[in-house]
Structures are given as C-alpha cells and as structure tokens.
Copies of this chain bind each other. A is one copy, B any other.
Amino acid sequence: MPNRSERAETQDLRKVGLKVTHPRMRILDILGNAQKKHMTAEDVYRLLIEQGDDIGLATVYRVLNQFETAGIVVRHHFEGGQSVYELDQDGHHDHMVCVATGKVIEFQNAEIERLQREIAEAHGYDLEDHSLVLYVRPKKVGKGR
C-alpha cells in the first residue's frame, strides 16, 4: 500500500509527463529526504547503491536532466567541476558556500534581486536569470591576541 509521499512523487512525475519508473521514484525520494539539499549526481548514485538499488550512474544523470527540464530540480554550477542538483521546492534563493566546511546555506534578498533587474535594465537588457554564490568563511571571533 503506497504511502503518502510515494503518491506525491507519483503525481509529480505524471504531472510532467514522465513515466513512473523505479529509478525516477528512488531518485526523487533521495532528493527529498537526504540530509544534504544539494547533491551531485555521484552523491545520488552512491546513496542509491547504499540502499540496495541497482541503478546506473548514466540513468542518474539522465533522470536529473529530465527533472531539470521538467522544472522539478534546479542545477547549480558551484566552483569545482561537478554540478549540484536540488529539488525546486522553496522558491528562488541564492547560495552561500562555506569554503572551510563545504556547507551550503540558502538565502533570499529582495533588494539584491531588485538591483540586478535595475542594472540589466540600465544596460538595455531584460534579466532572464542570474547566479549568485557567496564564498564565505566562519567569522573569526576574538582572534587577536
């Protein structure tokens, strides 16, 4: 008997015209329940293997791409080669990556968004999209002495 979240996932897939297959369900599940919100394809693949699913890495990439096209996930290109994917659920936000720990923090700032639109305008363009990533380091408290 399918539980609530399985139903929801099934809906998500049907809604965007994708067949409800085992790999897609599992990947959706992982994206929704993992501790890290931002995962690389390999991260997802590793978790699948760990939980006993026999799904190929190529499939993970294919599914993530389809999800991105379908608007289910957003893909980011932070520094360092790999892309990271995150479920597109809580609206737009930007990211802060701690260079010391790798931790990713999300934030929103209407003022910055507005300024970006203004700047594009001022140059004769319409803002279509943007990518803002802050690379930060834990504030050193009382480090002098």
Contacts and interface: CB of A to CB of B under 8 A. Distances in A.
A47 interface: no
Nearest to A115: B112
A16 interface: no
A121 B135 contact: no
A122 to B, nearest CB: 9
A11 interface: no
A22 interface: no
Contact of A130 (B119, B126, B134): B134
Contact of A96 (B99, B125, B136, B140): B125
Interface string A107-145: 101011001100111011111111111111111100000
